[in-house]
């Protein structure tokens, strides 16, 4: 019984010592630049309003660890500056590739084909059965 008492006493002393140590305050995480870029992309696309299928396009968004985009977004050339959108998409892809490399992220090597986009009810939408498809992140 005596060895058990000594062991318990030592365990309590360690716990008290750990609890007494001052801890550095947690630093809040900075917002992800990739998240900011994605928000800028969505803001630039807006409602993707259209009057004709020819105005609807898809944007390959981001990157997957095994290659290819994470998703596709529909956008309208009637409402969105395509060059500005392409620049933001390239920036977001670079940010995602850097994040993947830094974290060692892995993904399935499933290929997601570009579903295309069509004008439905005045907005560009992904052209997929039931409008499902590979949804955007």
Judged against a pLDDT cut of 70, whether residue 11 lies above it is answered with no
For residues 41 and 78, what is the distance between their CA atoms, to the nearest angstrom?
16
CB-based contacts of 119, cutoff 8 Å, min separation 6: 50, 51, 52, 53, 55, 56, 76, 125
Task: Name, of 20-24, 80-84, 133-137, the range with top average pLDDT.
Answer: 80-84
Looking at residue 93, its pLDDT comes to 95
Query: Residue 93 corresponds to which tokens in the numbers above?
Result: 């892809």
* 26-46: pLDDT as tens digits: 333 344 455 699 999 999 999
pTM for the predicted model, two decimal places = 0.68
What are the tokens at 54?
């020819």
Distances (CA, A) of 108 to 44, 91, 111, 113, 126: 30, 23, 9, 14, 22
Predicted local confidence at residue 20, as pLDDT: 41
77-129 confidence digits (pLDDT tens): 999 999 999 999 999 999 999 999 999 888 888 888 999 999 999 999 999 75
Asked whether residue 8 carries a pLDDT value surpassing 90, the answer given is no
Helix (H), strand (E), coil (C) string for 18-48: HHHCCCCCCCCCCCCHHHHHHHHHHHHHCCC
């Amino acid at each position: 019984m005596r060895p058990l008492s000594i062991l318990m006493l030592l365990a309590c002393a360690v716990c008290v010592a750990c609890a007494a140590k001052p801890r550095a305050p947690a630093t809040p995480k900075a917002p992800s630049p990739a998240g900011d870029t994605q928000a800028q992309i969505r803001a630039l696309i807006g409602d993707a309003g259209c009057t004709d299928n020819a105005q609807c396009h898809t944007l390959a968004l981001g990157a997957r660890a095994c290659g290819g985009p994470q998703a596709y977004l529909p956008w309208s050339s009637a409402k969105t500056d395509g060059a500005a959108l392409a620049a933001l998409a390239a920036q977001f892809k670079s940010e995602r590739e850097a994040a993947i490399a830094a974290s060692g992220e892995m993904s399935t090597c499933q290929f997601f084909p570009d579903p295309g986009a069509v004008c439905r009810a005045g907005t560009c939408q992904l052209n997929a059965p039931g409008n499902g498809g590979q949804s955007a992140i």
